[in-house]
Amino acid sequence: MRALRLVRPGVLTLSEEDRPVPGDGEVLLRVTAVGLCGSDAHWYSEGSIGDAALGHPLVLGHEFAARIESGPRIGERVAVDPAVPCRRCHICLSGAPHLCGSLAFAGHGVTDGALRTYMAWPERCLVSLPEVLSDAEGALLEPLGVALHAASLASLRPGGSAGVFGCGPIGLLLIGALRSLGAASVVATDVLPHRLTAATAAGATRVVQASADGSERAEVLEASGTRGLDVAFETAGTDAAVETAITAVKPGGQVVLIGIPSTERTSFPAANARRKELTISLCRRMRPRDLVLAAGMAGRGAIRLDTLISHRFGLEQGDAAFTTLVGRSGLKVIVEP
């Protein structure tokens, strides 16, 4: 089989490797589509993400769809949960397996991901892909699951108002999810004009061009109304976006941090957040049930996924795929092994 490995920051190698042999509880998967994510961009550009650093040539890719090649479900198209918790620790048993301290995650640390033609993965992590969805759309169910998990962290009621500050794929999926869940208005910002166009198409009721210094905050405040937003989601991974979210949300409101910063520290002026007595939550990937919810939502047409796909590459075009990802010239980059 072929596998694309990150050897060091900015350097990928495509090589022939032995096809994996499934272990207990695993099946063999033929990978059909992989979505590249902002976290993949961190790995590619920096060789690390958070406190995890590249220690060996790593196969990236955690947003993916596949076809089962072994076992009783052979031939079935599936979306794949990239997280494998231990299911034994007190965190798993308490109902939060996505926070498991022993969790293995595709394309992270020592666990190879999906940028290869075949992989073995636990069968319990596979969700049937609705027939109406393509394989490329199936690869977008994981980021949609993250968006749904983030939305669940906020007590936004139908008819409420929200802000999404950062309109990459997660932000765009979050806009669509919020509107589908009953948000009456969604204010969205981004520094890239083509993402603002996509945000409007996704359901944002007001878009504002962002800047590195936050000079757009007066316009965001005007768009948020006299009360302020009920909840704000930061999806850019920058301190400026965090501060804009805190500025726009109402007193007693909620701010959910989703974006991954380029450094290990996030900071914001405390006075405004303290005076408003805000609740600040952080989103950690998704829960297993969120992938099931995402498949159901997309399968019944409650949210469109195909409109986010801007680029497609083969596995042999890895350098071009990651250059496009890092350059942020499109929306979602898909690699089809």
Amino acid residing at 4:
L
Query: How many C-beta neighbours within 10 Å does residue 76 have?
Result: 15
Please report whether residue 110 resides in a domain.
yes
- Assess if residue 149 is contained within a domain: no
Encoded tokens for 311: 């680029």
Q: Distances from the Cα of 169 to the Cαs of 31, 194, 218, 258, 334, in angstroms?
A: 21, 12, 25, 12, 12
The pLDDT value recorded for residue 84 is 97
Both 300 and 194 in one domain: the answer is: no
Instruction: Find out whether 174 and 150 touch, Cβ atoms under 8 Å.
Output: yes
Write down which residue in 263, 282, 301 finishes a domain. 282
Alpha helices in 94-152 (DSSP H): 135-138, 141-152
4 closest CA partner among 122, 120, 121, 113: 113
* Residue 196 belongs to domain spanning: 154-282
Rounded Cα gap, residues 165 and 177, in angstroms: 15
Q: Looking at the structure, tell me whether residues 136 and 9 fall in a common domain.
A: yes
Does 147 map to a domain? no
Distances (CA, A) of 252 to 117, 149, 165, 177, 203: 49, 21, 19, 23, 26
What's the distance, CA 327 to chain centroid?
18
Q: Tell me how far apart the alpha carbons of residues 300 and 171 are, in angstroms, rounded to a whole number.
A: 21
pLDDT at 64: 98
Rounded-to-integer distance, Cα 68 and Cα 80, Å: 11
With H, G, I as helix, E, B as strand and everything else as coil, classify residue 58: strand
Q: What is the CATH number of the domain that holds 186?
A: 3.40.50.720
| 83 and 58 inside one domain | yes
Do 239 and 159 share a domain, yes or no?
yes
CATH number at residue 23: 3.90.180.10
Q: What angle do CA 141, 144, 148 make, to 5 degrees?
A: 135
Return the H-helix or E-strand segment holding 56. none
pLDDT of residue 215: 83
Tell me whether residue 146 is in a domain.
no
Angle of helix 217-224 relative to helix 239-248, nearest 10 degrees?
Answer: 30
329 shares its domain with 293 = yes
Q: Show which of 282, 298, 321 is a domain's final residue.
A: 282
Please tell me the predicted confidence (pLDDT) of residue 213.
79
d(CA 198, CA 79): 24
Q: Are residues 131 and 164 in the same domain?
A: no
CB 263 within 8 A of CB 286: no
Enter the tokens of residue 245.
């979210």
29 bridge partner residues: 68, 119
Q: pLDDT tens, position by position, for the chain (337 residues)?
A: 999 999 999 999 999 999 999 999 999 999 999 999 999 999 999 988 877 889 899 999 999 999 999 999 999 999 999 999 999 999 999 999 999 999 999 999 999 999 999 999 999 999 999 999 999 999 999 999 999 999 999 989 999 999 999 999 999 999 999 999 999 999 999 999 999 999 999 999 999 999 877 788 888 988 888 789 999 999 999 999 999 999 999 999 999 999 988 788 899 989 999 999 999 999 999 999 999 999 999 999 999 999 999 999 999 999 999 999 999 999 999 999 9
Whether 57 and 171 share a structural domain: no
Cα dihedral 78, 108, 83, 1 sign? positive
Per the structure, how many domains does the chain have?
A: 2
Q: Is residue 148 part of a domain?
A: no
Distance CA(47)–CA(53), nearest Å, equals 6
